[in-house]
Structure 1
Amino acid sequence: MDEILSPDMAVETVEALWRNSQDAWFIVSVGGDDFCYHSANTVYLSHFGNEIPQLIGRPMRDVLPPGEYDMCVTPFRQCLRQGRPLHYEFRATQGDGFRDWSFELSPLQGQGGRICFLLGHGRDITDARQAREQLAQLRRDLTDIDAGRCAFLANISHEMRTPVSGLTGAVELLMAAGQNTEQQHLAAMICDSSDTLSQLMADILDYARLSSGAVKLDYQRFSLGQLIEDLAARKQTLLSRNSLHLRLLLKAVKGIELYGDALRISQLLEKLLDNAIKFTRDGEVSVTAQVAVREGNARLVTVRVRDTGCGIDISRLDDVFKPFRQLDDSSTRRYGGAGLGLAIAKQLIDLMRGDIQVVSQAEEGSEFVIRLPLLLDESHQVFAEHIVVDRSVLSGARVLVVEDNPVNKLVTERLLNQHGLNVRSAANGKDALSVLAQHPIDIVLMDWQMPLMDGAEATRKIRSMPGMEASLPIIGLTAGIDHADVRQCQEAGMNDVLPKPLESSTLLDRMAHWLSLR
């Protein structure tokens, strides 16, 4: 039979806990609007510098410094008024410094249910609070570092892409100028080298951004079939240069709209397609897309990119998604590149919680299979047909090119003049406002980063000018084409955004599109 604790033993147990506790305990009596010390354990006494004979019966206002008493008396009165436990914290002067304390205050009732005493139980939380503050500061520092890293990458992207854009545009103009065969051959070599440099630069920057966690997903409604067709159209020049045929098998996804990050999906498919084209010397590349139904409106998208290229030895399949890896050193010399394309694709797939597999054998080609969990947009089942652009609207149109880089400005002017546009130029946003105030303009090409006044501020000021609130098309030109860059351009009032280096056909098509809507 269990023994019952006697009243005397219970009292002794409580007293032992009171004496030996590592926390501070005290009891104050309630008398009118004041509180007097009734008892306290040694921990409380050691921290607040009093002996029992000096403490018992004394009002708290006579023991605690005025500032500390004011911090304590408010929760004491609240506990007495509400008749239930409460928590409070305060900072106490101790020695040469301060200590932070956390207390739990409980009312003790006497006969008749009247609250006669308040029991306080507290502990020193100085070290814990300092640790929390240090952790919070560390998080702020890491956030600042991440923001600085993102800003650095964005600036590096702009500074590197800007001269490459000028180089690419100048070479395109040179090739269109009708030079002799040798000059055409040299220009084509420069064009190939600038394309390689541009791709290498983009891969390094993309890999750095993904590795730093700076890339965030932005889900929007899109057509997977249209996305792949647009990507294929952008690769036609590269395919023709390599004498390759691209076969698209998209019947299963025609007319289906999905929710997903179209920009990132296009980016990862482009990496896979570029990889297939690079390692295929003859034959074809095929892209197959399918959508499988899952629960509710959830869908599993499967895209297969297959080539008839050199293939991958089975022993090397585990290395294909590692950064800075190619099949061997000879592959790097023969095919070029930094070995980042597939590593970037893998990072993007992981970011979207998908998976990727590769099936390949040496000399038998390769097939990359990606699976992405997306959502079906049930509100619009049929996607609009691809818009056919009529470039005839470009002839005679008045365009303002706002660009601070003299090479890019000259190249853009020459390109637009060749297609019958009347061109005016400005070196920054401030000069652009002056041109618009003096001359009629049909469309504006606006660089993003410029001295004196950048593209965002200039666009906002243009939108505030009478008659230009929405009627004047403004196309932003930016070295960064991330979601954040696009959103900033749109929020400033731009109609469209194009990345640098500029593709002349894309630029002309987008200009024709917006001019046709006026």
Structure 2
Amino acid sequence: MSSETNENINKKKYNYLQIYEAAIRNANDIIILFSNQGNILEVNRKAVDTYGYTEEELLSKNIFELRNRERIELAIMQFEKAKSGDVEFETMHFKSDGTSFPVEVKSIGIEINNERFVLSIIRDISNRIKNEAEIRELASLVENTEDAIIGKTLDGIITSWNIGAEKIYGYKKEEVIGKHISIIIPDEKINDFYEIINKIKNKEKIRGFESKRRKKNGQLIDVSITVSPIYDFEGNLIGASNITRDITENKKVEKELRDKYEEISALYEELIAIEEELRSNYQELEKAKEEADKANKAKSEFLANISHEIRTPMNGIIGIIDLLKVTELNNNQKEYLDMLSNSSRLLLGILNTILDISKIESGKFELTLKPFNMKKTLDRITKELSIACSKKSLEVFYYIDPYINFDLIGDEIRLNQVLINIINNAIKFTEKGQIMFKVKKLRNTNNKITLEFSVKDTGIGIKEEFKNDIFKKFVQQDMTYTKKYDGTGLGLAISKDIAKLMNGDIWFESIENKGSTFYFTAEFLLNYAEDINNHNLNAEDDQIVSSKNKRILLVEDNEINIKITCEMLNRLGYEYEYVYDGKQALEKLKENTFDLILMDIQMPELNGYDTTRIIREKEIKTKEHANIIAMTAYSMNGDRERCIEIGMDDYISKPFDMNTLKNVILRFI
């Protein structure tokens, strides 16, 4: 063979080699050449694109780095098998970002220059797996649907029959496959089939329709049918598919509805007559509603005003009484003063009771939830109980569950109101014997606790015929007791409503002439905050010495209230100045600094709300904060919330005594 011939052969081989390399590099499948140890020697472009590594990164890896490390033994076995022959399998490979994908692997061992290699052709079969899953899901859906799905040729020969068809028609699949569709079509409806087939052949759109079909037992049923053409892989029309639903029950219901419609139509004229009557009364009802709304509004405004008008002089009375108590008095004067104090507080209690009933009736009776210490509340109540019992020579016993969480969140004022009402009733109706006060834990969850309070007395008890009425408003046991014992007959009714708001209840056990036991349950939130309001809890124990060099501005327009409040501040050891309205307060604050401001609400020139709003707006620039306490005779529902919303720090309701004033001041300075 000439050298020229050899040269041509070599050129052809080189060209073929370049073609093979180009084909491998641009193949749609991943092609990787591995060393006998599994190291990657060559990769094509598809491998780089699929795995997400650069070519250099792939060439530094081993076959086992692409496989699932938890199944490394299987990977080793498959690779060893490929060395000596060829192997095909499916597995999972991993990309550079750690995500896995399914692959089909065909590997074969090859020998070049006495050195063994493994060549693998790897195909990403993610789409195939997904398609197969969708096909299985669709097949399952078709097979298990309640509707009958039937396939047939253009000649009407049944080719497929699902479980839904078996349930509707009663035929098993093997009974109908290969049979003509007329087996389930009544004779009078057979033309429907041929008309549908002609429309399919003409590529006309076929809408769903209703018809009759025959079951295996001969029963005719109503059905709704949807027909779709079936094509082979080359696009040739080969048959049709029916989706059939049994609507026999629907038709029955439709008939019943038609019958009912006739009945309703018969009543229609009567309804029109009623409508006319209602329309004629509508204007009267609207007018009555408007009058009722006006009456409710007038009632609320009256209660708010009467509350303010009564509380303002009451603040003067109670304040003066408090101041007189610390002066030198003889025994008669002290006795008269105590009587006056008790009467004024009784009057205030009646006022509060009437306001509470108004709130309950208007649906505006709400709880105010705040952190408080139950131990201090109970200590105060038991102290008052002991003092009251000693005046009537009654024995008093207490039991407080030692496992109670004392740091709670709830409405301490309303809790105190219920307990004081029950305790006062027990003392009032007990002339001799004893009073037993108990507190125990009923339930305790992660963030809530339910407590049961009970007050047992040895008093007159409750008559059997009165027991069902004891929690009704304005009801007292009888006229004899009404004359002997004071009261409005509202306390227990209000206590019942408070108990419900606290997710609790109130009830009693009683035997006439032997005594009664009243039970009261209430739910509280547990307060896990560290050092819960330590400053507030200890405020009552602080000495007046803490008031040294503390300056207070009193903003008040009532001369009596000014005199009383100033005297209280003086006795508490505070420095103070006072002004008569909000305008004067703003002028005073321009040149002076105060540790706290006591702000009345209703004042001439500029009221307390607007004054506070102006102060807070100025503080946005100065970054300072003045402690402002609302001091108002308004005590309706929402008054406290409005004060806080405006920007005040706290709220004190008139009338108040010196101890109440001291405690609210000590919360802030």
Structure 2-normalised TM-score? 0.51
Relative to structure 1, is the Cα distance of residues 440 and 142 closer, same or farther in structure 2, using a 3 angstrom cutoff?
A: same
Give CA-to-partner distance per residue, 1:114-135, whole Å, 9 cap, x none. xxxxxxxxx9xx9899999999
Give CA-to-partner distance per residue, 1:443-484, whole Å, 9 cap, x none. 221122223222222222223345986543222223345662
Instruction: Find the counterpart in structure 2 of residue 448 from structure 1.
Output: 601
Give CA-to-partner distance per residue, 1:135-180, whole Å, 9 cap, x none. 9998888667655543432222122111111111112222322123
1:264 aligned to which of 401, 409, 414? 414
CA distance in 2, matches of 1:235, 1:480: 30
Relative to structure 1, is the Cα distance of residues 235 and 482 closer, same or farther in structure 2, using a 3 angstrom cutoff?
A: farther
Instruction: Find the counterpart in structure 2 of residue 186 from structure 1.
Output: 336
Query: Quick one: which amino acid aligns to residue 355 of structure 2?
Result: L
Relative to structure 1, is the Cα distance of residues 297 and 286 closer, same or farther in structure 2, using a 3 angstrom cutoff?
A: same
Relative to structure 1, is the Cα distance of residues 287 and 180 closer, same or farther in structure 2, using a 3 angstrom cutoff?
A: same
Instruction: Find the counterpart in structure 2 of residue 493 from structure 1.
Output: 647
The answer to whether structure 1 residue 278 and structure 2 residue 441 are counterparts is no
The answer to whether structure 1 residue 407 and structure 2 residue 560 are counterparts is yes
CA distance in 1, matches of 2:548, 2:529: 36
Instruction: Find the counterpart in structure 2 of residue 357 from structure 1.
Output: 507
Give CA-to-partner distance per residue, 1:85-121, whole Å, 9 cap, x none. xxxxxxxxxxxxxxxxxxxxxxxxxxxxxxxxxxxxx
Gaps of 5+ in 1: 7-122
- The offset of 1:243, in angstroms, is 6.3
Instruction: Find the counterpart in structure 1 of residue 545 from structure 2.
Output: 392
Matched residue SS, 2:517: strand
Task: State whether residues 359 and 637 of structure 2, in contact with CA within 8 Å, keep that contact through their aligned partners in structure 1.
Answer: no
Query: Quick one: which amino acid aligns to residue 469 of structure 2?
Result: D
Give CA-to-partner distance per residue, 1:379-415, whole Å, 9 cap, x none. 5598566324232122443222222222222111122
- The offset of 1:500, in angstroms, is 1.8
Query: Quick one: which amino acid aligns to residue 333 of structure 2?
Result: Q
Relative to structure 1, is the Cα distance of residues 493 and 171 closer, same or farther in structure 2, using a 3 angstrom cutoff?
A: same
Task: State whether residues 304 and 635 of structure 2, in contact with CA within 8 Å, keep that contact through their aligned partners in structure 1.
Answer: no
Relative to structure 1, is the Cα distance of residues 273 and 455 closer, same or farther in structure 2, using a 3 angstrom cutoff?
A: farther
Instruction: Find the counterpart in structure 2 of residue 290 from structure 1.
Output: 440
Instruction: Find the counterpart in structure 1 of residue 475 from structure 2.
Output: 325
CA distance in 1, matches of 2:320, 2:403: 39
CA distance in 1, matches of 2:385, 2:319: 18
CA distance in 2, matches of 1:183, 1:275: 29
Instruction: Find the counterpart in structure 2 of residue 200 from structure 1.
Output: 350
CA distance in 2, matches of 1:243, 1:394: 40
2:611 aligned to which of 444, 458, 465? 458
The answer to whether structure 1 residue 484 and structure 2 residue 638 are counterparts is yes
- The offset of 1:427, in angstroms, is 2.1
Higher RCO (CA < 8 A, seq sep 6+): 1
Relative to structure 1, is the Cα distance of residues 327 and 219 closer, same or farther in structure 2, using a 3 angstrom cutoff?
A: same
Matched residue SS, 2:482: helix
The answer to whether structure 1 residue 428 and structure 2 residue 581 are counterparts is yes
Matched residue SS, 2:453: strand
Matched residue SS, 1:356: strand
Query: Quick one: which amino acid aligns to residue 509 of structure 2?
Result: V
Alignment of 1:360-375 (within 5 A): 360-372=510-522, 374=523
Task: State whether residues 502 and 524 of structure 2, in contact with CA within 8 Å, keep that contact through their aligned partners in structure 1.
Answer: no
Aligned length: 392
Gaps of 5+ in 2: 1-185, 189-271
Task: State whether residues 304 and 370 of structure 1, in contact with CA within 8 Å, keep that contact through their aligned partners in structure 2.
Answer: yes
Give CA-to-partner distance per residue, 1:264-294, whole Å, 9 cap, x none. 3333333223333433456654432333337
- The offset of 1:182, in angstroms, is 2.5
Give CA-to-partner distance per residue, 1:288-346, whole Å, 9 cap, x none. 23333378756543221233444333443223222223233343333322121112112
Instruction: Find the counterpart in structure 2 of residue 503 from structure 1.
Output: 657
Instruction: Find the counterpart in structure 2 of residue 62 from structure 1.
Output: none
CA distance in 2, matches of 1:428, 1:242: 48
C-alpha RMSD of the superposition: 3.9
Relative to structure 1, is the Cα distance of residues 480 and 367 closer, same or farther in structure 2, using a 3 angstrom cutoff?
A: farther
Instruction: Find the counterpart in structure 1 of residue 668 from structure 2.
Output: 514
CA distance in 1, matches of 2:385, 2:639: 24
Q: Percent identity?
A: 31
1:348 aligned to which of 455, 477, 498? 498
CA distance in 1, matches of 2:456, 2:623: 48
Give CA-to-partner distance per residue, 1:239-259, whole Å, 9 cap, x none. 676666765533356335555
Task: State whether residues 308 and 635 of structure 2, in contact with CA within 8 Å, keep that contact through their aligned partners in structure 1.
Answer: no
Relative to structure 1, is the Cα distance of residues 501 and 465 closer, same or farther in structure 2, using a 3 angstrom cutoff?
A: same
The answer to whether structure 1 residue 153 and structure 2 residue 306 are counterparts is no
Relative to structure 1, is the Cα distance of residues 196 and 456 closer, same or farther in structure 2, using a 3 angstrom cutoff?
A: same
Relative to structure 1, is the Cα distance of residues 402 and 302 closer, same or farther in structure 2, using a 3 angstrom cutoff?
A: same
The structure having more radius of gyration, on CA atoms, is 2
Matched residue SS, 2:489: coil
* Worse overlay, 290-299 or 313-322: 290-299
- The offset of 1:422, in angstroms, is 2.5
Query: Quick one: which amino acid aligns to residue 462 of structure 2?
Result: I
Task: State whether residues 399 and 441 of structure 1, in contact with CA within 8 Å, keep that contact through their aligned partners in structure 2.
Answer: yes
CA distance in 2, matches of 1:424, 1:371: 46
